[in-house]
Chains A and B, each alone.
Chain A
Amino acid sequence: MRRIGALFSTTFLIGWALVSAAEAAEPLKVGFMTVRSGALAAGGRQMEEGLQLCVDAHKGEMAGRKIQIITADTAGQPAVTKTKAQELVERDGAQILIGPLAAFEALAIDDYIRQTKTPIISPSAAAEDLTQRKPNPWFVRAVGTSAQAHHALGEYAAKELKYKRIVIIADDFAFGHELSAGFQRTFEQNGGKVIQKLWSPLNAAEYGTYITQIDPTADAVFAGFAGGNGIKFLGEYKNYGMQKPVLGAMTTVDEGILKRMGDEALGVISAGWYSAAIDTPANKKFVEAVRKAYNADPGYYTVGAYMACEFLNNALEQVKGDISDKAAFMKALRSVNMPESPYGQVKLDQYGQPILDITIRKVEKKDGKLQNTVIKTYPAVSQFWTYGPDEFLKSPVYSRDWTPAK
C-alpha cells in the first residue's frame, strides 16, 4: 500500500515537473493560522483584517498567480496549532503558511515546519530565539522580536528622558520577560538602574496589589503588557492616584486597544516598529484603507499580517510566481527588500528577521482620538541592537531572571 503510494507520488512529481510551466494557472495555496475563539480572538480578527486588505490590494493575484487563502482557527492552543498546521499542509495542500499568533504556538510547530520544509511567515509571534539561537531555515518574521523595539526605548529613557531609576511591571510570560530584559539591558548600559521587577500573572484578576508595591523612589514605571492587560493596568494605575510617568511596551498601548482607552493612556511613551501615526505616504495610504474597511486604526496584529502578506508578494515576484524550487523561494523570502512600506524601509538580516525603523511614540489626543504620535525614530534597527550578532548570541536568551552583564 505504502509502496504504491510512493510510486504514485514519484509519478506525480515527474508529472509536476512537466507541468510546472503551466503552474501559473494553478492557484497558490496559502495556509493562514489565526485565532477565532478564546482569549486571543481579538488579535486573530485584526490579523484576518490585515491579511484580507493585502490580498484585496493585489486583487487576489501575486506575480501572475491566483492566491487562495485557507484559514484555520488554532484556538490559541499549542496542541491544536500543530493539528491545524497538519490540516493546512497535508490535507489542504497549503504550500506556504502565514501565522500563528502567539509565540508558544509558533514554537509548538517549529519541528513540524522543519520536517515538512514548509516556508512560514510569522505575522505576530515575536519569540527571540526563532530568529536567534535556534533559527529555523523555513521561518521568516514580518514583525520585530520581543526586545527589538525595547532596546531603543531603554536607551531613550536613560539618554533623553534622563531617568535614573525605573520599576518594571510586566506580564509573567516569555514575551513579557524578553521585552523587559531588552529594555533593562540598554537602560542600564546607559547609566540607568532597574530597581524593582514585578511579574504579574497573565491572568491576574486585578493590579492593585502590584501597583501599591511600586517603589516610591522610582522616576518612572515601565509597563510591559500584552493583550487587554494594558487597558486594565493603566485604568487602575490612574485610580490609585499614581503620578509617575509610564513607559510602555509596544503592545501596552497598541492601536488595537488604544481605541478603547481613555485619558489614563495620555502621555504614555512607548516604542515600536510601527505606529498608525507614522507620517509617510505609504503608511497614510495603508491607514486610510484600514479606516475605510474596518473603521479602526491598524495596530500590531493588523499591520503584522498585512506585512507578512506583502513579504510573500515581494518574494513571489522575485521568483516570478514559481515556488517549485523551495530553496530558491526561501532565498527570495529572506532577500525581501521593501524601500517603502507602512513600516518604512524594510530588509531582512541573514536570520530571517527584519531590520526596522523603530519609533518612540507618545500617546496624544488628536481630533478627539488617541494616537501614538511619533517623537523620535531610530533608523534601521537590528534585532541585535548595536551589539552585533556574535556578541549578542553569546549570552543566553532573555528571561525573567536575566540580569545584564555590566
Chain B
Amino acid sequence: MNPASRPQAVLALLAIAALLAMPWLVTSDYYINIATQVVIAAILAMSLNLLVGFGGMISLGHASYLGVAAYLTIYLSTHAGLGSLASALIAIATTTLLAMLFGYLALRASGLGLLMITLALGQILWGIAYRWASLTGGDNGLGGPVRPRPFGIDLMNPTAFFYFTLIFLVLAAWLISRFVQSGLGQSLQGARDQPRRMRALGYNVWMVQWLSFVFAGFWGAIAGMLYAYYHQFVSPQALHLTTSAETLLMVVAGGTGTLFGPVVGAALVVILKNVVSAYITRWLMLLGVVFVAIVLFMPEGIVPGLRRLRAAMKMQPASSARSALPVTEERPT
C-alpha cells in the first residue's frame, strides 16, 4: 500500500462518521432525503469514475444503467408481480448483462469514438423508453412501487432509507477502492497511461477494460435500483443525455481518479439543483459558473485541488505554482 492512502482512509472514516451522524445533525426529513439523493448520485458517479478516472474512458451514456435498472425494478415489482428482492436482483443482473454488451460495442473504439458510442447507445435506450409506451408508460413514466421492508425495517421512513443507501455507498467505496488497488485495477490504470506498453508486456488490455466496464455497469445498476425505490417513480428523464452529462460533470468537477472526488461532485450538483435553486432563480447559470470556476482554479477537480492547496500551504509557497495539472497525472493511491 502506498503511504498516501493512510490519510485517505482516515478521511474516509471521518466522512462515513459524518454521514452516519447526518440524521442527528439535521432534523428535517427534507434534508435527509437530499442526503439520500447525494448518496445515490455518488454511487453512480463513483462507478462512472472507474471508467473515466481510472480507465481513461470518457462515457456519455452512464445514465443507461441507472435508467434501465430503475425501469426494471419498478416494472418487475409493480407490473410483473415479483417480490422486491427478486425484482432488484433481476434488474441488477440484467443491467449488468447490458453493460457487457455496451462494453463490447464501446470498446470497439477508444477516446472520442467510445464517448460517441456510449452517447448513441444511451440515446437509443432513451428513445425506447419514450416510444415503447405500452411497456414503459412513455413520458408519463412508471410509478407505484412501495419500498421493501427487509427484516421488518420500514424503508418508507426517510432515515431508515438513508442508512439503507449508505450501506451501498460504503460497500461501493470499499469494493471499488479494492478493485482499483488490485492487479486488475492497476493494469486498468496502466492501460490508461501506456496502452501500447501494457500490450507489449502481454496484458490483455481489452479484457481489463471490458471487465471494468461491466463492474462499473453493476454499480450503476445498484444506483438505479436505489433510485427507483427512492423516487418510487421512473421516467425517460432518468435515461436522458442530460443525466449522463450531469454524472460526468460530478466526476470531473470532484476530481477524476480519486475515490471521494465523485462524492463531492455529486453533493455539489445535487445541492445546487435541489436546495440552492430554492433561493436563486438562475441556479442553472450558477452551476455553469461553478463548473467554469473549478476548471480555472482547480482544473484537476475539487478534491485534488483542495489537497494541492493544503500541501502548498504546508510547504513553501513555490509549489502552488504547479497549477493546471493534466488530469491524467493524478494518481489515486
Contacts and interface: CB of A to CB of B under 8 A. Distances in A.
A and B touch in the complex (CB under 8 A): yes
Interface residues of B, number: 35
Contact of B141 (A1, A90, A104): A104
Contact of A80 (B23, B33, B273): B273
Interface stretch (A106-114, A311-319, A366-374, A376-384): A106-114
B133 interface: yes
A344 B1 CA distance: 77
A38 B285 CA distance: 11
A11 interface: no
Interface stretch (B176-184, B229-237, B252-260): B229-237
Nearest to A2: B159
Nearest to A202: B139
Contacts of A401: 134
A83 B141 contact: no
B141 A72 contact: no
Interface stretch (B105-113, B275-283, B302-310): B275-283
B30 A86 contact: yes
Interface residues of A, number: 35
Nearest to B139: A173
Contacts of A1: 23-24
A73 B281 contact: yes
A86 B29 CA distance: 9
A103 B140 contact: yes
* Residue in B23, B138, B238 whose Cβ sees the most chain A Cβ within 10 Å: B138
A83 B274 contact: yes
Contacts of B130: 172-173, 201
B276 to A, nearest CB: 11
A324 to B, nearest CB: 22
Contacts of A72: 277-278
Given A1-B24, A78-B237, A174 B232 contact: no
Interface string A53-85: 000000000000000000011010111101110
A91 B24 CA distance: 16
* Residue in A72, A75, A80, A104 whose Cβ sees the most chain B Cβ within 10 Å: A104
A350 interface: no
A79 B30 contact: no
B274 A80 contact: yes
Contact of A91 (B28, B133, B281): B28
A174 B237 contact: no
A299 B130 CA distance: 28
A330 interface: no
B152 to A, nearest CB: 16
Contacts of A78: 141, 231, 233, 235, 237
Contacts of A173: 130, 138-139
A399 to B, nearest CB: 6
B133 A111 contact: no
B124 interface: no
B34 interface: yes
Interface in B24-57: 24, 28-31, 33-34, 37
Given A37-B283, A79-B237, A111-B144, A174 B139 contact: yes
A400 B141 contact: no
Contacts of A2: 159
A80 B30 CA distance: 13
A36 interface: yes
A26 interface: no
Nearest to B127: A201
A201 B33 CA distance: 34
A127 B277 CA distance: 27
Contacts of B143: 107-108, 110-111
Contacts of A127: 140
Contacts of A110: 143
Contacts of B278: 72, 87
B40 to A, nearest CB: 10
B138 A174 contact: yes
Contacts of B275: 87
A146 to B, nearest CB: 11
Nearest to B34: A83
B24 A399 contact: no
B140 A107 contact: yes
A174 B30 contact: no
A108 B233 contact: yes
A175 to B, nearest CB: 8
Contacts of B277: 72-73, 75
A201 B126 CA distance: 12
Contacts of B283: 37, 73
Contact of B131 (A38, A79, A172, A399): A172
A79 B231 contact: yes
* Residue in B134, B144, B233 whose Cβ sees the most chain A Cβ within 10 Å: B233
Given A77-B237, A83-B37, A110-B143, A90 B231 contact: no
A173 B238 CA distance: 16
Nearest to A79: B231
A83 B23 CA distance: 18
A36 B138 CA distance: 24
Contacts of A38: 284
29 contacts: A2-B159, A73-B277, A73-B283, A75-B273, A75-B284, A78-B231, A78-B237, A79-B233, A79-B238, A80-B273, A80-B274, A83-B33, A83-B34, A83-B37, A83-B274, A86-B33, A90-B29, A90-B30, A91-B31, A107-B140, A107-B141, A107-B143, A107-B233, A108-B233, A110-B143, A111-B233, A173-B130, A174-B133, A177-B138
Interface of A: 1-2, 36-38, 72-73, 75, 77-80, 82-84, 86-87, 90-91, 103-104, 107-108, 110-111, 127, 172-174, 177, 201-202, 399-401
| The 9 residue pairs across chains A and B that have the minimum distance between CB atoms | A91-B30, A90-B30, A173-B139, A78-B235, A37-B284, A83-B274, A174-B140, A108-B233, A104-B139
